[in-house]
Every structure is written in C-alpha cells, then in structure tokens.
Chain A
C-alpha cells in the first residue's frame, strides 16, 4: 500500500462518516457542520486529482458561502430540531428504494467498471501557477459565453431571492 492509497482510504472514510453523520443528526446545525466537513474532504480529493482551482472554489463557495447561508437560515427559523423527526415506519419504503439503488450501482460498478485507469497523483507541475493561468485563459476565451450566461443566472437568482423574501406591501 502506497501513501496515496492509505490517505485516500482514510479520507474516503472521513467523507462517508460525515455523510452518515449528516443523515442521522437530529439537530440541523450538526447536520450542516457535518456537511461542511464533507465538502472540505471532497476538496482534498480535488487536490489529489490535480484540480487545485476547483478545490479552492469548493472551499470558498460550498463550505464557505453556501453552508453559511444554510446556517443562517437554520438559526433564523429556529429550525434546529423542528419536526423532521425520524419515523421508522415511514422510512421503510423509501429506505428499501434507496437500498435497491445502492445494490444496483454496486452491481454495475463491480461488473462494468474498467479495471485499469490508475490515477497518478499530480506532480509538482500540476499545482503551479501555469495550470491556473491556462485554466483562467480557457475560461475567458473558449468558455466566455457560458461564463457570461452564468453571471446572468446568478443575477436572476439574486433578484428572485429578494423578491421571494420581500414582505408583501399592505394595500390600503
């Protein structure tokens, strides 16, 4: 076992354990914090895969912005443990559906997955500035149109959120 493999297994364990923690926590704040840890673990996987930019975007956007928004809403609603109580009888049917999904994906992975295709951990060159510069120039030349469309999408989402949250004006 190489060092990469050992660290991959440890990190995978952390990722799965935090996902389970998110699912079973009764308190929504604990769920959110478990999810933050999960996102950061996935960011480390991105570093393994030679995608430092995506790893940083993951930490700032997901673990930073999105989860802070979640925590704000949980605390705003005082929804730490409102409802959503786990009901075993109601969970049997969806739980069995999910088990079928898990079994099927496991079957497909075992029978169909390609045996080869080892992922080499990135060498030093993959994490240098050149990589980021190339990615940036690709983003702003070849993929400029999708980039601009994304900005429109974000603007629309922002306007939509403000309109939804706004109090209705009382008509005299």
Chain B
C-alpha cells in the first residue's frame, strides 16, 4: 500500500529538478532534456491520480492513461522539431550555449 502522496511528492521533486536544469544549465541540449524530465514528472502525477480515481470508482478507467499516451506522442513530435532547431542554431552559431544566442537582443 503506497499512499498517493508519495507519488505526488516524487513527481514534484522530479519536476523541480527539471526547472533547476532549465534555469541553471546553459547547454541547449541539457535544457531540452530537463524539459523532457518535467513532462515525465507530470505524466507520473497524472497516472497516479488516474490510479487513485480507479480505486475510488472500483472499476478500470482509461482516461488518464490515454491522456498520458497522447502526451508521450506530443513529446515525440516536440523533440523532433526542437532537435532540428538546435542543429540549425549550431550550424549558424557553431555553439549551443544559450547565453550566446543574443542576436535579437535590443
């Protein structure tokens, strides 16, 4: 018997680590990976809530799992486009340090 709170705490910890990665690291690829970590933490929370709902209703429910499935599909699409953008930025700047992407700075 694992209380749902534990899953929510774990999800919150993982999400916060993703936020730390986005804020602190300067490598665009690591920032992107941190975003994936945050998406993953949110998915974990959704599945935990769905499971709790299932237990309350005492019958199998699939809404939460299907929603997470769509989130995974969207994350895959996002990664394809995002990595293409990072490769393009690297081609023009020869760097993926986000501090150097300041051409649009006024």
User: Would A66 and B36 be within 8 Å (CB), given that A50-B51, A84-B30 are in contact?
Assistant: yes
- In the bound complex, do residue A70 and residue B29 qualify as a contact, i.e. CB atoms below 8 Å apart? yes
Which residues of A sit under 8 angstroms from B55, Cβ to Cβ?
117, 119-120
Given contacts A54-B47, A58-B72, A164-B81, contact A94 B37 (CB under 8 A): no
The one of A48, A102, A134, A154 in contact with B77, judged by C-beta atoms closer than 8 angstroms, is: A154
| Contact in complex: B20, A95 (CB < 8 Å) | yes
Number of interface residues of B (CB under 8 A): 72
Give the size range of A's interface with the partner: 35 or more
With a CB–CB cut-off of 8 A, which chain A residues contact B20? 23, 94-95, 98
Q: Given contacts A22-B21, A28-B30, A119-B48, are A150 and B65 in contact (CB under 8 A)?
A: no
A164 CB to nearest chain B CB (Å): 4
Report A's interface with B, CB cutoff 8 A. 2, 4-5, 8, 12, 15-16, 19-20, 22-23, 28, 31-32, 35, 38-39, 42, 45-46, 48-51, 53-54, 57-58, 61-62, 65-66, 69-70, 73-74, 76-77, 79, 82-87, 90-91, 94-95, 97-98, 101-102, 105-106, 109, 113-121, 126, 131, 134-135, 138-139, 143, 146, 150, 153-154, 156-158, 160-161, 164-165
Give chain B's interface residues, CB within 8 Å of chain A.
1-10, 12-21, 23-30, 32-34, 36-37, 40, 43-44, 47-48, 50-52, 54-55, 60, 62, 65-66, 68-70, 72-81, 83-88, 90, 95-97, 99-100
List 5 contacting pairs A-B, 8 Å CB cutoff, sorted by A.
A8-B2, A66-B76, A84-B30, A84-B97, A164-B87
Contact assessment for A38 and B37 in the assembled complex, using a CB-CB cutoff below 8 Å: yes
